Structure 1
Amino acid sequence: MAAKILVVEDDTAIAALIEASLDLGGYEHQTCGHGNEALFRIQTEKFDLILLDIMLPGLDGFQIMERIHGREIPVIFLTARDKLDDRVRGLKMGAEDYVVKPFEPRELLARIEVVLRRFSRSNQQLIYHDIEVNLTERMVRQGGEPVFLTPKEFDLLVLLIKHVDEALSREVILQQVWGYCFVGETRTVDMHIMQLRKKLDFQDRLKAVVKIGYRLDN
């Protein structure tokens, strides 16, 4: 199945060139020219890659990146802004690549292919010390031995590893793992954290952060 790419570009001539390039590469694609519309599509549809301009009406490319932080979608910035500070900022925000306009269609296709291939490989497995997490099979091994986790324990472990050394609030954990917003008091997160500590011997690494939530230390 061809990868599905979202093109976020408000210049219709450049958008047409990108679309023609993607057609040559055999990719499925959609295009939108407004930052707010792009964010809505990202939140409601599934894409394998986003080609993102920075200067857009509504939300700009950097603002979109901030709002989709944590989503497993690779992003390539495709923009006329060629200042070093912009390139560094884009990459630090999590973009996989930064392409400056004007661009050669063949080079763009090559960069897309590299990012999709790299992301596909890295997206199948997570490594944390002696723990291997197979995202495709939803299997966990520690020191080569299988560890049996419940579905929510697995999802919680994945979230913690992907945000290692970051303090995650209970609200964020509930939203990312259980899919609902935090309302009032709950022990759900605490109970699952307790189980992960026991099953994976995380007593020294999975720490409570006062008035925030939890942090998995590297």
Structure 2
Amino acid sequence: MANILIVDDEEAINELVKLNLKLVGHICDQAYDGKEALDKLSKKQYDLILLDVMLPYISGFELMKVVKDTPVIFMTAKDRIEDKIQGLTSGAEDYIVKPFEILELIARINIVLRRIKTENTVFKVEDMEMDREGKIVKYQNEVVELTPQEYTLLEVFVINQNLAMSREKLLELAWGYDYEGDTRTVDVHVQKLRKKLGLEDRIKTVYKVGYRLEV
């Protein structure tokens, strides 16, 4: 869980990002222009800022000059290489171009949070506990031996908790882009995780979509 400030003057995008970040457990504040963002930053410390470049009153690039000790991910429609270079050399952790998939944004956020050590590496739900730093999974306080693929799939579920993901997306995230197997592989591994970790009521089947880890 992290405290995140979303700064974007496009209300629909701002709300969509907030909704999805709340679903995976983050706490979000919102600002719709540079002045409002500056005011919020003067009153509260955040773990991460999601920052648009083209903002009313004060641009994202200008805000970067006053942001201190808080990691920033630019999310913007400015896709020229010159803009990307300016954003990254200004001190931002990452630069993602609109339109983007929300799962990609969440993945990038998690990478930044891990890098700055603000993310809690221990995840618990009912009798299952996952220590992502130590790569140890327990059920009812007993260590459970998972195969590398089972562990990777569980980690994908944990990172994207409460989000419905298609079998194709799970294959992409847990097996890799070049995996040539079919989606039934996902079903088999989901059944194994449910049985080994008592997650029958937590890893939900989403009709005509795929699966969701509910927490």
Could you state the TM-score of these two structures normalised by the residue count of structure 2?
0.53
Q: Tell me the residue number matched to 1:12.
A: 11
What's 1:98 paired with?
95
- In the other structure, the counterpart of 2:70 is 73
Count of aligned positions:
118
User: Is the aligned partner of 1:120 residue 2:117?
Assistant: yes
Looking at structure 2, the residues matched to 53 and 25 of structure 1 have their Cα atoms a distance apart, in angstroms, of: 22
Match of 1:82 among 65, 79, 87: 79
Partner of 1:61: 60
Q: How far 1:24 sits from its partner (Å)?
A: 2.2
- Local SS of the residue matching 1:114: helix
Deviations 1:25-53 (A, max 9, x none): 21000111010110121122110000000
Counterpart-to-counterpart distance in 1, 2:24 and 2:99: 19
Q: Which runs of 5+ in 2 are unaligned?
A: 119-215
Amino acid paired to 1:84: I
Q: 1:203-214, aligned counterparts within 5 Å?
A: none
Deviations 1:195-216 (A, max 9, x none): xxxxxxxxxxxxxxxxxxxxxx
SS state at 2:53 partner? coil
Helix, strand or coil for the counterpart of 1:67? coil
CA distance in 2, matches of 1:72, 1:25: 24
After the TM superposition, which parts of structure 1 deviate over 4 Å for at least 4 consecutive aligned residues?
none
Q: Where do 1:1-218 residues align within 5 Å?
A: 2-68=1-67, 71-120=68-117
- Give 1:66's aligned amino acid: K
1:114 maps to a residue whose letter is I
- RMSD in angstroms over aligned alpha carbons? 1.1
Cα distance in 2, alignment partners of residues 44 and 12 from structure 1 = 22
2:43 & 2:18 partners in 1: Cα distance? 22
Which string of whole-angstrom CA distances, capped at 9 and with x for unpartnered residues, describes residues 134-165 of structure 1?
Answer: xxxxxxxxxxxxxxxxxxxxxxxxxxxxxxxx
Residues 3-40 of structure 1: per-residue CA shift (max 9 Å, x gap): 10000011011111111220222100011101011012
Which structure has the larger Rg?
A: 1
Identify unmatched segments of 5+ residues in structure 1: 122-218
* Structure with more relative contact order (C-alpha pairs < 8 Å, separation 6 or more): 2
Provide TM-score, normalisation by structure 1: 0.53
Aligned-partner Cα distance in 1 for 2:7–2:102: 16
